[in-house]
Amino acid sequence: MPQTFKPAANTIATVSLFAGAAVPFIAFLTGSTMTNSPYNTKQFVPIDQPAPFSHKHHAYELGIDCRFCHATVEEGAVAGVPATEVCMTCHSQIWTNSPNLEAVRKSCETGTSLQWNKVNHVPDFVYFNHSIHVNRGISCNNCHGAVNKMELTWKGQSFKMSWCLQCHEDPSKYLFETEAVKSGTISPREQVFDLYRKLSSGKKLTEVEYQLAEGLPQVVPSDDVHAGVAAMKERGINVTQLKDCYVCHH
């Protein structure tokens, strides 16, 4: 049977669909901030903060789970930064006189929240959601660099549209499964956090985990790529629409 619509019709439909939705979006673009704010441009540059908070220290050396401080990362669009009380669960008792914690103490006394400088940011016309990525088993380090090694936090990726798209085109190259996931002991989502647990306890890492932990470009071994493709099916990932404009601009 001949095709009623040429494949191109699909693209045209998508584009016109987008064009309709995009009017306010384009107005926004031309009307305002195409200027890049400083935090948005600098990759790999450690950002100064009101208190010199170290992920290397807290997440790697002390082994505190990301979710202790970024409580909404699995369920919400936004990961969130911790309230001062979270810091005070420990720092009301340890290092209570450290000048490095002055801002934290002050925040606690005055009841005003700490103003952390933003490190990662996408413009307002881009929709991003943490929970879907983490639930599919994509590592924080894929998008943020080797957080476990950061003294002061820096931006690990450009967050350019092309960077989002190269993964959306074929996420399987970023999906791998450790033995624990293969055997069903943990979920793909838990694998994301298991990397840091393994690191902190000095357990042996797989090759891919090592690359992630070091902030090296991720190269999934070919047998694992097959596992990645299978994982896509299993996790119900549908790539046919993942590059459509409305996924990220709506």
Could you say which residues in the range 59-98 bind ligand HEC, by CB under 6 A?
Answer: 59, 62, 64, 66, 68-70, 73, 78-82, 86-87, 89-91, 94-95, 98
Please state, in angstroms and rounded to a whole number, the distance separating the CA atoms of residues 85 and 148.
22
The answer to the question of residue 147 lying near ligand HEC (CB under 6 A) is yes
For ligand HEC, the closer of residues 4 and 240 by Cβ is 240
**Looking at 140, 212, 220, 225, which residue binds ligand HEC (CB under 6 A)?**
140
Please state, in angstroms and rounded to a whole number, the distance separating the CA atoms of residues 182 and 191.
11
CB 194 within 8 A of CB 185: no
**Looking at 28, 56, 71, 122, which residue binds ligand HEC (CB under 6 A)?**
122
The answer to the question of residue 168 lying near ligand HEC (CB under 6 A) is yes
The answer to the question of residue 238 lying near ligand HEC (CB under 6 A) is yes
The answer to the question of residue 248 lying near ligand HEC (CB under 6 A) is yes
For ligand HEC, the closer of residues 135 and 206 by Cβ is 135
**Looking at 56, 116, 170, 206, which residue binds ligand HEC (CB under 6 A)?**
116
Question: Taking the mean position of all CA atoms in its chain, how far away is CA 7?
Answer: 34
Please state, in angstroms and rounded to a whole number, the distance separating the CA atoms of residues 213 and 2.
51
Would you list the DSSP string of 161-185? HHHHHHHHH-GGGG----HHHHTTS
The answer to the question of residue 142 lying near ligand HEC (CB under 6 A) is yes
Which amino acid is residue 194, in one-letter code? Answer: D
Please state, in angstroms and rounded to a whole number, the distance separating the CA atoms of residues 82 and 79.
10
Q: Closest by alpha carbon to 210, among 223, 220, 201?
A: 220
**Minimum CB separation from ligand HEC for residue 182, in Å?**
19
Name the one range near ligand HEC by CB under 6 A: 105-113, 204-212, 223-231, 238-246. Answer: 238-246
For ligand HEC, the closer of residues 91 and 198 by Cβ is 91
**Looking at 180, 205, 229, 242, which residue binds ligand HEC (CB under 6 A)?**
242
CA distances from 186 to 66, 78, 131, 195 (A): 17, 24, 17, 12
**Looking at 196, 208, 225, 231, which residue binds ligand HEC (CB under 6 A)?**
196
Please state, in angstroms and rounded to a whole number, the distance separating the CA atoms of residues 214 and 195.
12
CB 230 within 8 A of CB 137: no
The answer to the question of residue 127 lying near ligand HEC (CB under 6 A) is yes
For ligand HEC, the closer of residues 168 and 206 by Cβ is 168
* DSSP H or E segment with residue 203: none
Binding mask 38-57 for ligand HEC (x = CB under 6 A): -----------x-xxx-x-x
